[in-house]
Amino acid sequence: MGIIKIKTAEEVELMRQAGRLAGAVLTETGRFIKPGQTTREIDRFAENLIRDGGGEPVFIGYRGYRHATCLSINHEVVHGVPGEQTVKEGDIVSVDVGVRLNGYCGDCAATFALGKVSPKAEKLLRIGRDCLKAAIKQARAGRHLGDVSHAVEALAEKNGFSVVRDLYGHGIGRDLHEDPLVPNYGQPGEGVELKPGMILAIEPMVNTGGWRIRTLSDGWTVVTEDGGLSCHFEHTVLITEKDPEILTWSKTKM
Ligand code: MF3
Ligand code: CO
């Protein structure tokens, strides 16, 4: 593990601006999504909003990725690649948005229900949102990373779901991915102590079935191994002297 950067007050202000743009793009994209659209159309919509807001889509060019968003449907966990696939009534669609604005990054995601979805899907989204809230509640100076991680795992498992164990949240700043890794499972009190000025992208990925995942032959799309549904909720969060500050605040239900 490298060093966890403590952001200066100036950097925090720039991170707020980047986070605000990412959150607004998530809000508007969630409102835009409708059955019958291709994931390419949804991605274009989000990309235009990022650019209109003065930002750059930080995912483009990341390890050769070519799109502004990741759009992951039903049993797709994360990193779904926008293309000709259409979304339909009853689907759950995870939208992951990353922006860079004035040199700093914001990263957030949410899973949206298209029209009426199954009771199981509804429960998954409710628990996924609650997992993120529970994790953010632990993101306080003096707590440890394991407190954040454990909050996700405990709530998901109590509700009969599992958490993805091979993908993590992360520190964020000038770079999309900085130290530390933020697992969605762990032991309370373990891991590094959180300090004011740390900024974490906390991102529970919760499955209705088992936690195992695999990557499709496109090299990106991550799916559940057993075909169960998966959801993804993510905020960029600042550790402060007091309450955690959500930098990617969104009107999206999350
Ligand atoms: N949003 C993802 C994360 O939180 C990264 C997406 S990978 C990319 O780490 F290639 F699409 F950029
Ligand atoms: Co992220």
Q: What is the mean pLDDT of residues 144-169?
A: 98
C-alpha angle with apex 177: 126 to 195, nearest 5 degrees? 80
Tokens of 73: 């449907």
Ligand 1 pocket test: pick from 47, 70, 100, 205 the residue with the most ligand atoms within 8 Å of its Cβ.
70
CA distance 254 to 239: 19
Domain count, the chain: 1
Band of the pLDDT at 14, cuts 50, 70, 90? very high
Ligand that lies nearest to the alpha carbon of residue 96, given by its number in the listed order: 1
Inside any domain, residue 2 = no
- Is pLDDT at 158 greater than 80 in this prediction? yes
Q: Ligand 1 in contact with 100 (CB < 6 A)?
A: no
* Ligand 1 centroid to residue 8 C-alpha, Å: 25
Inside any domain, residue 150 = yes
CA distance 93 to 37: 12
Inside any domain, residue 251 = no
Inside any domain, residue 1 = no
CA distance 50 to 35: 23
Q: Ligand 1 in contact with 65 (CB < 6 A)?
A: yes
* Ligand 1 centroid to residue 6 C-alpha, Å: 22
Inside any domain, residue 253 = no
Q: Ligand 1 in contact with 198 (CB < 6 A)?
A: no
Q: How much is the pLDDT for 5?
A: 96
* Ligand 2 centroid to residue 19 C-alpha, Å: 12
Atom of ligand 1 nearest to the CA of 69: 11
Ion ligand 2 nearby residues (CB, 5 A):
107, 201
Q: What is the mean pLDDT of residues 35-49?
A: 98
Q: What are the pLDDT digits (tens) for 45-79?
A: 999 999 999 999 999 999 999 999 999 999 999 99
CATH number of the domain bearing residue 184: 3.90.230.10
CB atoms within 10 A of CB 72: 28
Ligand 1 pocket test: pick from 107, 181, 205, 220 the residue with the most ligand atoms within 8 Å of its Cβ.
107
Cβ–Cβ under 8 Å, residues 214 and 75: no
Q: How much is the pLDDT for 2?
A: 80
Q: Ligand 1 in contact with 203 (CB < 6 A)?
A: yes
Q: Ligand 1 in contact with 213 (CB < 6 A)?
A: no
pTM for the predicted model, two decimal places: 0.98
Q: Cα 144 to the chain's mean position, in Å?
A: 20
- Is pLDDT at 38 greater than 70 in this prediction? yes
Tokens 């991102």 belong to residue: 203
CA distance 89 to 66: 27
Q: What is the mean pLDDT of the chain?
A: 98
- Is pLDDT at 20 greater than 70 in this prediction? yes
Inside any domain, residue 73 = yes
Q: What is the mean pLDDT of residues 227-252?
A: 98
Q: What is the mean pLDDT of residues 104-121?
A: 98
Q: How much is the pLDDT for 116?
A: 97
Per-residue CA distances from 212 to 11, 77, 123, 205, 206 (Å): 37, 10, 20, 11, 11
In percent, the amount of the chain with pLDDT more than 70 equals 100
Q: What are the pLDDT digits (tens) for 176-230?
A: 999 999 999 999 999 999 999 999 999 999 999 999 999 999 999 999 999 999 9
Band of the pLDDT at 150, cuts 50, 70, 90? very high
- Is pLDDT at 1 greater than 60 in this prediction? no
Q: What is the mean pLDDT of residues 115-144?
A: 98
Q: Ligand 1 in contact with 70 (CB < 6 A)?
A: yes
Inside any domain, residue 206 = yes
Inside any domain, residue 254 = no
Ligand that lies nearest to the alpha carbon of residue 26, given by its number in the listed order: 1
Range of the domain at 179: 9-246
